[in-house]
Structure 1
Amino acid sequence: MKIISTLLLFLLFAYTSIAQNLDIQTFGDPKDHAVIFLHGGPGYNSVSFEQTTAEKLANNGFFVISYDRRGEGRNEELEAEFTFEQTFKDLNGIYSDYNLEKTTLVGHSFGGIVATFFAEEFPEKIESIVLASVPMSMQNTFRTIIESSKKIYQDKEDKINLSYIDQLEQMDTSAYEYAAYSFMHAISNGFYSPSQPNSRAKELYQTIKSDSLILKYASKYTYLAPMKFWENEAYTSINLKKNLNHLKEEGLEVFGIYGKEDGLYSKEQVNDLKTILGDHKVEYLENCSHSVFIDRQQEFINLLIGLKK
């Protein structure tokens, strides 16, 4: 009996300590409504959210938890499997370490895929989910990037980049290289930035230019993460339609917030999300691109305020 009790204590300690070696940032009062921010990528980090928006969110009555996934960003040195299973173990460790029963998960870009899958597996731990610039269909996202880039190159009579697009269109669309090259075109064509940011966004982007931590990590990608997630989870072919329909059937609250200038997503993809969740649960904002929490910060915060119970 003593052996069994010792074993149970060991297993409990192992479970509750899972997240202890992660670099985790918190903002606000632990008694307030808990929000966990899940960053994009794979291979990116949460720094820009933390330095621009997390504290303001906390000032509106939230306990905000933010971290970089294992093997990515500030946790790059930690040994990682780059699987959803391990990602969920870390998330469950965070729930345990901070004595959380239910939270709102805010998933940005790839982080929204993580949030959706986690909610399917652990619905009892979800108060609500906010999908911020999240790909409903990865394949639709790649097609949107390629079609938009191709038009830009045609208008510029850019024969070199048109030849690259031609090569890209001949590739296996599920391949890691296909995804990587598509995102390279998205970056070079400014698909992640609004053309006319509002005054608040301009202030925030100015802050970013002078913030040493953001500058250190803003363009820092962990290249092992996307490759390994592709090998282990085939993430380039993920389509969330069935998953989101399932969450809706289970009665979980899911909301979306997107920018009309986000070059990664077609209007069709946003409309598909509206069809699933309902028009009133998806905000589609002007003067806004991929970083909705910067481009339309107040609207982003207002959405979360409306979810508090």
Structure 2
Amino acid sequence: MNRIILLIFSLVTFALHAQTSTIYSKSYGKNTNPAIIFIHGGPSGNATLFEGTTAQKLADKGFYLIAYDRRGEGRSIDSAATFTYEEARKDLNEIYKLYNIKKANLIAHSFGGLVGTIFTEQNPEKVNALVLAGALFSQQETYDHILSTTKAIYKEKNDSLMLSKIIDIESLDKNSAAYRKQCFELAGQNNYFKMPYPTTEANNLRNGYEQSDFFKNNIRNSQAPILFYKNEIRNNIDTKPILKKLKNQIKLFAIYGKQDNIFSEKQLNDLQKIVTKKNFKIIENCSHYLFVDQQEIFIETIEKWLK
């Protein structure tokens, strides 16, 4: 009887362990090289595009690159995920433990910029450098910019239907998932995330990714943004004050596409003042996915900064 109880206990323990071990991650390169952890966008994102195009190439430059999908997003399937910054912080700490990393460089893309900044604020001793790569840092300014610039586009086109839609969006709760979603949908409809003149190299990278296993595993949880806005009280934040403090504690860099049209010129000027001009780079003919749009320049810049 005691053996049966022990067996049941062991099976339950194993099952619980299996349920909590949901974080997808993969390393590239030698673990003796400087570590880089890539933090993807979202909520409802994953690291597949970065992995399928750029991870190994950065590792070949002498880095130990780790990519992972946040809990409940992408390949880290977890129906119990809470989608909070605290959960993201804990899981990132687990990545450090799993790969036996004491200190790493963080490349934070899009929404990952908020995750990376908050993690670094709470764990500065674990971060050598934070690289904001097309990263969000002042959410409301981004939404305001999207709405004002798309409004100008539709006024020029005399598109009364879309102008009416913008008025409806502006009336929504600015701390809601619906507001965020519809702002970014407007941006997408107006090609704010696309490079203006795709190069042969960028097209080849995207085509290669779309034919790869990474693209086949481009899993996105459509409920992630809704749950994030339900569970996280800090759902519309400005991290500039945090970044101003961090620049005295860690190395702080920022790299953005010139045609990443979700950001205003004022936002990027404000960010440059924080990170300093020498640690700030704008790439021409480049939008939101700068590690694909202009991969060579992106990798050269990261290598220069982090080595």
Query: Could you say whether these structures have the same fold, taking a TM-score greater than 0.5 normalized by the shorter chain as the test?
Result: yes
Taking the TM superposition and a 5 Å limit, the aligned residue runs for 1:143-292 are: 143-214=144-215, 216-217=217-218, 221-250=220-249, 252-292=250-290
Aligned length: 291
- The one-letter amino acid paired with 2:56 is E
**Secondary structure of 1:66's match?**
strand
Equivalent residues of 2:73, 2:221 under 8 A apart: yes
Tell me how far apart the structure 1 counterparts of residues 124 and 23 of structure 2 sit (CA, whole Å): 24
Following superposition, the deviation at residue 152 of structure 1 comes to: 2.0
List runs of 5+ in structure 1 lacking aligned partners: 1-16
Q: Which contiguous aligned blocks of 4+ residues in structure 1 show a shift greater than 6 angstroms?
A: none
Tell me how far apart the structure 1 counterparts of residues 140 and 282 of structure 2 sit (CA, whole Å): 21
- The one-letter amino acid paired with 1:270 is L
List runs of 5+ in structure 2 lacking aligned partners: 1-17
**Who is 2:48 aligned against?**
47
Identity %: 38
Q: Does 1:93 find its partner at 2:94?
A: yes
**Who is 1:23 aligned against?**
24
Equivalent residues of 1:19, 1:91 under 8 A apart: no
Inter-CA distance 213–248: structure 2 relative to 1 (3 Å threshold): closer
Tell me how far apart the structure 2 counterparts of residues 33 and 231 of structure 1 sit (CA, whole Å): 37
Equivalent residues of 1:70, 1:79 under 8 A apart: no
Equivalent residues of 2:38, 2:106 under 8 A apart: yes
- The one-letter amino acid paired with 1:37 is F
Tell me how far apart the structure 1 counterparts of residues 119 and 70 of structure 2 sit (CA, whole Å): 14
* CA offsets 1:276-298 (integer angstroms, 9 cap, x no match): 11111111111000001111111
Q: CA RMSD in A?
A: 2.0
Equivalent residues of 2:112, 2:136 under 8 A apart: no
Following superposition, the deviation at residue 216 of structure 1 comes to: 5.0
Q: Does 1:299 find its partner at 2:297?
A: yes
Following superposition, the deviation at residue 181 of structure 1 comes to: 0.8
**Secondary structure of 1:289's match?**
coil
Equivalent residues of 1:22, 1:75 under 8 A apart: yes
Once the two structures are overlaid, the 10-residue window that deviates more, 37-46 or 157-166, is: 157-166
* CA offsets 1:144-177 (integer angstroms, 9 cap, x no match): 1111211222222222211101111222322221
* CA offsets 1:165-215 (integer angstroms, 9 cap, x no match): 111122232222111110111111111111112332122122233335325
Equivalent residues of 1:70, 1:78 under 8 A apart: no
Equivalent residues of 2:40, 2:109 under 8 A apart: yes
Once the two structures are overlaid, the 10-residue window that deviates more, 146-155 or 22-31, is: 146-155
Inter-CA distance 215–18: structure 2 relative to 1 (3 Å threshold): closer
